[in-house]
């Protein structure tokens, strides 16, 4: 955005103003005061739209936008105020991490912009000798300071809320992992108990003569009890290995 046509600025000021405007700042030379401020940043946009305000010596404020210049300066800060208010409502209604992140993603550049705007107004407040101009700047500065504070509070609240959501999700995932681990251990224990019996049943279930076909009934019970005992022994070994791993971790 170039300097508005009809602005008879001193050369000392013109050489410091480019087509893009640059960062927010105040410029002063020969009693002329120029403010280069930014409109409210758009979401996910790095571009900044500059707005120029000019206070010639012994003349009224002039602005690059339409409407009364002093009103435009106050309206610019009010746009930040409305944006912070809208994001505050979104933050209060947000329940998921993605909703809170959307608020944080927008409020971060807004907070940075309104903070720089406030610092520019604070420095510009000391420049003009015209008491009316100082009064105008002080009125806008008072509102800008309030908006800056609200934006910073909202940014901190959104960041803490997002951290809380992340911590809650981590806790839920950890709880699910412990449940899966316990279920897996129970399954392994059951498999360990019945694995020897399965092996013995597979061996004796083969259609081959082993010499035990005519054995008395107590042999069957002996094999059954021996298989269960072997399974319990293996299960105890698995449990001991798991406990040793938890203690070492």
Verify that 113 and 52 share a domain, yes or no. Answer: yes
Q: Are residues 236 and 152 both part of a single domain?
A: no
| Element containing residue 39 per DSSP (H, E) | none
**Structural domains of the chain, count:** 2
pTM, two decimals, is: 0.67
Distance in angstroms (rounded) separating the CA atoms of residues 25 and 22? 8
Tell me which of 169, 194, 229 is where a domain ends. Answer: 169
- Write down the pLDDT at residue 115: 94
Greater pLDDT, 116 or 165: 116
- Are residues 149 and 68 part of one domain? yes
- Is residue 88 located within the same domain as residue 198? no
Would you say residue 175 lies in a domain?
no
Instruction: Write out pLDDT tens, residues 179-234.
Output: 777 777 777 776 766 667 676 666 566 555 556 556 676 666 776 677 677 776 76
pLDDT digits 0-9 by tens, 50-79:
888 888 887 787 888 665 567 888 899 999
Q: Please give the pLDDT value at position 238.
A: 65
6 part of a folded domain: no
- pLDDT band of 27, cuts 50, 70, 90: confident
Please report, for residues 30, 39, 40, 150, 195, the alpha-carbon distance to residue 84 in angstroms, rounded to integers and kept in the order given. Answer: 37, 13, 10, 7, 65
State the residue range of the domain holding 94.
Answer: 11-169
- What pairing do the DSSP bridges indicate for beta strands 50-55 and 32-38? antiparallel
Q: Is 220 in the same domain as 155?
A: no
Strand order in the sheet with 62-63: 25-29, 32-38, 50-55, 62-63
Strands (E), the chain: 25-29, 32-38, 50-55, 62-63
Are 73 and 140 within 8 A, CB to CB? yes
């Amino acid at each position: 955005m170039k300097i508005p046509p009809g602005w008879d600025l001193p050369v000392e000021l013109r050489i410091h103003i480019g087509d893009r405007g640059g960062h927010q700042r105040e410029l002063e030379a020969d009693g002329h005061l120029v403010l280069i401020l930014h409109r409210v940043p758009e979401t996910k946009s790095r571009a900044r739209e500059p707005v120029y305000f000019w206070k010639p010596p012994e003349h009224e404020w002039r602005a690059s936008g339409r409407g009364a210049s002093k009103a435009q300066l106050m309206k610019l800060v009010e746009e930040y105020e409305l944006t912070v208010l809208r994001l505050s409502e979104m933050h209060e209604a947000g329940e998921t991490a993605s909703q809170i992140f959307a608020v944080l993603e927008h409020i971060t550049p807004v907070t940075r912009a309104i903070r720089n705007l406030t610092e520019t107004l604070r420095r510009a407040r000391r420049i003009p000798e015209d008491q009316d101009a100082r009064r105008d700047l002080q009125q806008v500065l008072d509102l800008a300071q309030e908006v800056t504070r609200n934006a910073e509070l909202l940014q901190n609240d959104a960041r803490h809320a997002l951290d809380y959501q992340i911590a809650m999700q981590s806790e839920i995932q950890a709880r699910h992992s412990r449940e899966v681990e316990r279920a897996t251990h129970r399954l392994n224990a059951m498999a360990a108990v019945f694995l020897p019996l399965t092996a013995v049943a597979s061996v004796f279930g083969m259609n081959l003569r082993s010499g035990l076909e005519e054995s008395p009934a107590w042999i069957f019970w002996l094999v059954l009890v021996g298989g269960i005992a072997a399974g319990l022994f293996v299960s105890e070994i698995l449990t001991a290995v798991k406990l040793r791993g938890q203690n070492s971790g």
